[in-house]
Each structure stands twice: as C-alpha cells, then as structure tokens.
Chains A and B, each alone.
Chain A
Amino acid sequence: MSFIRLSFKLKEVFFVNKFIRVNMETLEVTVGTVPEKYAGLGGRALTSNFVNDEVKPTCHPLGKNNKVIIAPGLLSGTTAPNSGRLSVGAKSPLTGTIKESNTGGSSSQMLAKMGIKALVIEGMPKEDKFYIIKVTMDGVTIEEAPSQILGGCGNYEAIKVLNEKYGNHVGMALTGPAGEYRLPSANISFKDPDGNIRSAGRGGLGAVLGSKKVKGIVIDSTGASSVPIADPEKFKAASKVFAKALLDHPVAGQGLAAYGTDVLVNILNEAGGLPANNFTAGRIDHNDNISGETMNATITERGGEGKVSHGCHKGCIIRCSQWYPDKQGKYITSGFEYETIWGLGADGGIKDLDIIAYIDRAMDDVGVDSIETAVAVATAMDGGLIPWGDGEAVLKIVQEMAKPTPLARIIASGTSVVGKVCGLFRVPVVKDQGIPAYDPRSVKGIGLTYATTTMGADHTAGYCISGNILKVGADIDPLKKEGQVEYARAMQIGTAAIDSSGMCLFVYFGIADNPGGYQALIDMINAQYGLELTADDLDTLGKAVLKVEKDFNTRAGFTNHHDRLPEFMEYEPLPPHNEVWNFTPEEIDEVWNF
C-alpha cells in the first residue's frame, strides 16, 4: 500500500488555534494559525463564515470547488457539560444551500484538546482512490484507505477495522457506503465513545467528503493537553451553575433521560401535529406502538445490553440517547430519535418499533440521514414504489444502499427526487430537504422556521432561546399566526449562537426558563476566553451567522421565493384540526426583518 507521509511535526507548531488545510488534489497539508477574521469564532459561526468566504456559491457541491470544514465549538474540549458537539460545513448537494451539520461523538473534544480550531478538506484527488486522513499530535498523514472497508462495507465493520489498525482510543469521521457513492442523503458518520455511530446527518455532507475521496478521518489525541482556560475558578463556578440548571429542569433532567426525544410521539399526536401517511393526516391510532413511553418500557423489560439513558459524548448530562436491544437483549441501535421513528412509524405507517430500530441501524451502517431517508420512504409509499407500512421492504432497500441498487439510489437521493420520480405534487420539502416531524399546518411557528432557515427544512434551526422569547411564547397558539414570526426569528437567532458554542442544542431545554442557566453559559465562554460577553452579544453573534449564511444562499441563486412551504399545504387541510398553511409571502419574509 502506498503511504504518503507529510513531514512536519505538529508538536513544534501545534499549541492552540491551529487551522489545518488538507488539499486532496496535491495530497498536501498546511498548518497555520486561525486567520484573524475568524478569531473568536467556533462551531457553526466558523464553518458558515468560512464557507461563505471560500466556497464558490454557484459551484457544483460534488465538484472540486466545494470545501468541507470541521470545527469544534467554542466550549468543546472543556469540562462544560454537553459541550462535545462538532460542526461540519460545506455547500450541500441535497439543497444547494450553505449547510452546517452538527454531531456528537468523540471527535469535537479531541480536536479541541489538540488545539485544532478547524480542519478544512479541499480539492479532489486525481486518482480514483479513497484515503484516510490521520491527525495526531505528531503530524497529519494521508494514507490509502484499507481495501476491506471500501465498496459497500458498513460503518460498524469499518469502525472495527480501523480500531484494530489505529487503536480503540481514536476518534473517527467516516464516509459510509452512501457517501462513497455520493448519494445526496449521505451522512458523515462519527464514532461515539462506545464505538457506535453518531451522524452529521442533514444535507448530504457525506457525499461531499466522498467526492473528495476521503473515506475517513482518524483523530488520535494522545499527548494533547487540556484546553486553556483564562479564569479557571470562574469557569468552574459557572459550569456548576449550568449543570445544576440542566439537571434541575424536568425536561432535561428527567423527561429526555427517561423517554428520549421519542417522548414527542404522543405529544405531537395529541396536538394533531404528527404528520402521517405522507403528510395527509396529523394523528395516528398506533402511536402507542412507537412512543417514547413504549420504548422505555421495552428497553426496561428486555434488559440485556439495553440502556434507557445514554450520552452521545463524554460530559453529556442530559443523556437523551439510549441503547435499544432486540428481544434477546442484544444491542440494535442507539440515538434512536423521535424524527426517525416518526418518519418511518407515522409518516410511513410502520407499526413495529423493532423493525424501525433495525432500519435505523441499517441507515447508520450505510451512512444516510435518517430524517431524509424516512421522509423519502413515506413519499415513495405515496408514489407506489413501496407498500405502505412495509418495514421489511424498507429495511432491504436501505441495506441495498451499500451496493447500491437503482431503487436504493432513488430513495437515498432524497424526498424531492422521489417526488419527481413518482410524479407527485405532495412532496414535503423546503429547498429540497425533507420536512421533519412537526406539521407546519398545526404547529405554525415551526413552519416559519422550515420556510426561512438557510438550511432547508430543519427543525433544529429554531431550537434555542433568544432575547425575550418567553414573553413571545406566552402569546403563542400553535394554530394561529400571532407571535409566530417573532418566535421563528428569535429561535433561529438563538440557535445559531448555541450552534457556535459547541453546546448540544438540548441544553436549551434546561435553560429556557432559567435566566441563571443562560447567564452561566455565557459566563463559561467568558471565563474560557477572558471575555465579557453579554446575552446581547450572543444575539448579535446569532444574527451575524444567519446573515452570512443568507448571503451565501443569495449568491448561490436563492431568493425569497425559495423561502416557501410546499404548495399542497396551502390547499390540503390537515386532520384533525383541518388547518392549512395560511401565511402570506410578505408575512413569511418578515422573519428576516432584523
């Protein structure tokens, strides 16, 4: 096997604030300090500014002019609870927009401890070979990927092979089979502390990494020191307040830990906002089969390797993940999320939680976004490509994404492609990204976020507190327009700020009604960097991130006319409330009035 060693010693230049560029065309690596204009940025703020600066907005996402940037958040690598999230940025092959995709796992904290603020992958190799990029404290190497993990090898097996080669302690980012074939729903799959899989899921960034022939990034932080903290005592005190705010809150401290995000099945179903049968109904009768409450009872009853509660990265104290076991108690999947279960169980009518778990595992194994795939599956069912509710058929198709067969390629190309292939008008997408698990006709504020976010339909684009959102919240009726524009605007601004911190978005649940908790988050950032930021500064950061992303999309050819929900929602009422989407274009555009 050929082996290209890049002869430089990171130890000599590597302390903090390193900005690494890997050129896959020349197979050269350069290490420098973070450019001045990115000083003080992390996570999404860094990835989005970089993509806007350096990626040609009109480039083909799978061509040589696209770039992938991976960046830990501002607090990643510290002892701050839930700070192990990683941002990945590029132009999306699914949406054609800018994209920030966010994940757990081990890599964010490792990179941060190694003093790496960003890892950029650019260019395309001349030869048709896949490579492994290995980052250690001794240097960066680019090696040919082992042949046994190529050509359809699943991510679980690939992690095993690479663990044997590089050691169990390393962090990993993988291009799964779907990414190797550059399918638009492809994830970048990240190894978690237990050797299982977390995903930078939305937007097909795995296809971009695949186009650059990067099969994997292996991160070995051996020899890395702690992240420097300007004021350790202040940091420790703020961290303690923050942790208490999270654990004292019934949402983060108890609800999610016991029932996972799947707790939302029963709640959305009761509210009439659980999209079902390809967004033709807002409620199902078999909710008890697939609810978080049933998941909890099933895991508890089966025992074995099952865990009701589990963290996706070290330092997570919310622990909304779980290990879902089979009937013999053997591990099937983890991070078994509401949106996946909703998409397959309600929108696609699959009534068996076990088969949904096997499909979830298969999606992780081939490396496709479980939301996009589930929405595409339900759309394909509406179009007659797959029988309604046929879990075994869906499992086979997902497994075939590793080959991939023509039908597997179509489903992994996303909801918009499936809608066109099937000749449907009922295609639940915004900017070609599948709409997740909250129907905009019954939960109108989230609909405004789907329409206006820079990312294509994405519920996580509007997750976090900003400004006086609680006062806004007091006026909100999910079926009425009042307060919704302010809600969607404030939540997107707050989310952009949190996404830049390295914090899991779910910390919002614990600090939303606790001003002390929110201040503690800001205090931790201040203590780490020796700053004096205020809540207003975080608002300013969030606004700036959104405007940078909007600028990229505008230069890529997107206009206000793309900030719209699919037309069928304007004339197909959603039972049981029989509401339609009734915001005017002018009202929708007001979300961007800041």
Chain B
Amino acid sequence: MTKSGTFDPMTDEKKQLEIRGFLQLDAFLKKKYGTMPVFYEIDGPITGIELAKELGIKREDIEVIFVNGFVQEVNYTLNPGDRMAFLPPGCPGPYRIALGFYGKNQDNAANFKIQRKDSK
C-alpha cells in the first residue's frame, strides 16, 4: 500500500494517522491526496512539525494541531492510530482563547502576531 490512501481498519489501524487540514490546508490536502481525511502510514511516533514537513505543509501555515480532539502545540508527538488536524492561523479570536490555543503557544511568539505574507 502507498503511504497515503484509503483506510483499511483490518490491516492499517495500528500504522496510520488520520489527518485533516483546515482553512487553506483543506484544499491543499484534498488536491494532493484526493480525499479528506488523509490516512497516512507512519512507522512510529512523529512530531507534528515533522509530519508537516513530510506532507509539504509550511510551518507558518500552522497555529496549533488537534490530536484526538485536544489542542496541542505543533511539536507534540503523534502516534500511529491518532486522529489529528493541522489548523492554520485564522480561527476567530474568542475561540483561540476558549479552545486553549494560547496555552499551547507560549513559546511561539509568531503565532500571536503573524504578519501578512505580503508584508514580510
């Protein structure tokens, strides 16, 4: 089987991540893999930032990641069988606080004041 593709729970459950991308990453992943969610085979634990690199997702396109329904910082370690999602900057303000993004961003000043791409 290829590294990404249709999920087969009988054989793949223990080896795969269930990946989603939101905002612009929704179109990016759908275009690249033809489906949402993407089921992606990994050999063992991998951080969110490492996974993003493998998928061709830019660092500045991630504010936080979701792992099994919880908000985590981008270098959180993912394990086979996890459900995860990449969330770019763009979630409306009150929910960035209410959903706990701020607590996961303390060492990541860029995510508090992300500049427009054209002004960098």
- On whether the beta carbons of A267 and B22 are closer than 8 Å, the reply is yes
- When distances are taken between beta carbons in the complex, the residues of chain B under 8 Å from A474 are 102-103, 106
Interface centre among A250, A446, A474, A506 (most CB of B within 10 A): A250
- On whether the beta carbons of A508 and B94 are closer than 8 Å, the reply is yes
Bound: A422/B5 CA distance, A? 46
- When distances are taken between beta carbons in the complex, the residues of chain B under 8 Å from A293 are 22-23, 26-27
A to B CB contacts below 8 Å, 6 in the list: A247-B116, A251-B92, A255-B89, A478-B99, A512-B97, A576-B69
- When distances are taken between beta carbons in the complex, the residues of chain B under 8 Å from A264 are 91-92, 95
- When distances are taken between beta carbons in the complex, the residues of chain B under 8 Å from A270 are 20, 22, 66, 69, 85, 87
A393 within 8 A of B: no
- When distances are taken between beta carbons in the complex, the residues of chain B under 8 Å from A514 are 113
- When distances are taken between beta carbons in the complex, the residues of chain B under 8 Å from A576 are 69
- In the complex, what's the smallest C-beta–C-beta distance from B18 to chain A, in angstroms? 11
Bound: A293/B115 CA distance, A? 22
| Contact residue among B27, B94, B112 (Cβ-Cβ distance under 8 Å from A513) | B112
- In the complex, what's the smallest C-beta–C-beta distance from A248 to chain B, in angstroms? 5
Q: Which residues of B in the span 85-119 have a Cβ within 8 Å of any Cβ on A?
A: 85, 87-100, 102-103, 106, 112-116, 119
A509 within 8 A of B: yes
B55 within 8 A of A: no
- Chain A binding surface SS class: helix
- On whether the beta carbons of A267 and B27 are closer than 8 Å, the reply is no
Q: Which residues of B in the span 30-86 have a Cβ within 8 Å of any Cβ on A?
A: 36, 66, 69, 71, 85
CB-CB under 8 A for A254 and B116, given A259-B23, A271-B99, A473-B102? yes
- On whether the beta carbons of A512 and B93 are closer than 8 Å, the reply is yes
B contacts, CB < 8 Å to A: 20, 22-24, 26-27, 36, 66, 69, 71, 85, 87-100, 102-103, 106, 112-116, 119
Give the size category of A's interface with B.
35 or more
A13 within 8 A of B: no
- On whether the beta carbons of B100 and A476 are closer than 8 Å, the reply is yes
| Contact residue among B66, B88, B102 (Cβ-Cβ distance under 8 Å from A470) | B102
- Other than the given A268-B95, A508-B93, A510-B93, 16 more pairs (CB < 8 A) read A248-B115, A250-B90, A251-B91, A251-B92, A254-B89, A254-B90, A255-B92, A266-B85, A267-B95, A270-B85, A270-B87, A271-B99, A293-B26, A446-B94, A476-B100, A478-B98
| Contact residue among B20, B23, B66, B92 (Cβ-Cβ distance under 8 Å from A261) | B92
- On whether the beta carbons of A443 and B99 are closer than 8 Å, the reply is yes
- When distances are taken between beta carbons in the complex, the residues of chain A under 8 Å from B93 are 251, 463, 465, 508-510, 512
The closest CB in chain A to the CB of B113 belongs to A513
Bound: A266/B21 CA distance, A? 9
- On whether the beta carbons of A266 and B20 are closer than 8 Å, the reply is yes
Bound: A218/B91 CA distance, A? 37
A537 within 8 A of B: no
Q: Which residues of A in the span 485-543 have a Cβ within 8 Å of any Cβ on B?
A: 487, 491, 506, 508-510, 512-514
- When distances are taken between beta carbons in the complex, the residues of chain A under 8 Å from B66 are 270-271
Which 4 A-B residue pairings sit nearest by Cβ, starting from the closest?
Answer: A255-B90, A250-B89, A293-B26, A473-B102
- When distances are taken between beta carbons in the complex, the residues of chain B under 8 Å from A273 are 99
- When distances are taken between beta carbons in the complex, the residues of chain B under 8 Å from A475 are 103
The closest CB in chain A to the CB of B69 belongs to A272
The closest CB in chain B to the CB of A297 belongs to B27
A462 within 8 A of B: yes
A587 within 8 A of B: no
- In the complex, what's the smallest C-beta–C-beta distance from A398 to chain B, in angstroms? 27
Bound: A271/B85 CA distance, A? 10
Interface flags, A129-153, vs B, CB<8A=1, else 0: 0000000000000000000000000
CB-CB under 8 A for A267 and B99, given A248-B116, A463-B94? yes
A157 within 8 A of B: no
- When distances are taken between beta carbons in the complex, the residues of chain B under 8 Å from A509 are 92-93
CB-CB under 8 A for A255 and B98, given A248-B119, A271-B66? no
- On whether the beta carbons of B94 and A462 are closer than 8 Å, the reply is yes
- When distances are taken between beta carbons in the complex, the residues of chain B under 8 Å from A250 are 88-90, 114, 116
- When distances are taken between beta carbons in the complex, the residues of chain B under 8 Å from A14 are none
A445 within 8 A of B: yes
A375 within 8 A of B: no
Q: Which residues of A in the span 340-368 have a Cβ within 8 Å of any Cβ on B?
A: none
| Contact residue among A255, A506, A577 (Cβ-Cβ distance under 8 Å from B91) | A255
Q: Which residues of A in the span 364-407 have a Cβ within 8 Å of any Cβ on B?
A: none
- In the complex, what's the smallest C-beta–C-beta distance from B90 to chain A, in angstroms? 3
- When distances are taken between beta carbons in the complex, the residues of chain B under 8 Å from A154 are none
- On whether the beta carbons of A263 and B90 are closer than 8 Å, the reply is yes
- In the complex, what's the smallest C-beta–C-beta distance from B34 to chain A, in angstroms? 13
CB-CB under 8 A for A253 and B116, given A297-B27, A476-B103, A477-B103? yes
The closest CB in chain A to the CB of B85 belongs to A270
- In the complex, what's the smallest C-beta–C-beta distance from A294 to chain B, in angstroms? 8
- On whether the beta carbons of B26 and A266 are closer than 8 Å, the reply is yes
The closest CB in chain B to the CB of A261 belongs to B92
Q: Which residues of A in the span 460-486 have a Cβ within 8 Å of any Cβ on B?
A: 462-465, 469-470, 472-478
- When distances are taken between beta carbons in the complex, the residues of chain A under 8 Å from B71 are 271, 478
- When distances are taken between beta carbons in the complex, the residues of chain B under 8 Å from A251 are 89-93, 96
| Contact residue among B89, B98, B112, B114 (Cβ-Cβ distance under 8 Å from A446) | B98
A276 within 8 A of B: no
- When distances are taken between beta carbons in the complex, the residues of chain A under 8 Å from B114 are 249-250
Bound: A250/B120 CA distance, A? 13
Interface flags, A570-585, vs B, CB<8A=1, else 0: 0000001100000000
The closest CB in chain B to the CB of A507 belongs to B93
Bound: A506/B22 CA distance, A? 20
- In the complex, what's the smallest C-beta–C-beta distance from A327 to chain B, in angstroms? 20
Bound: A443/B97 CA distance, A? 10
CB-CB under 8 A for A443 and B98, given A272-B69, A293-B27, A477-B103? yes
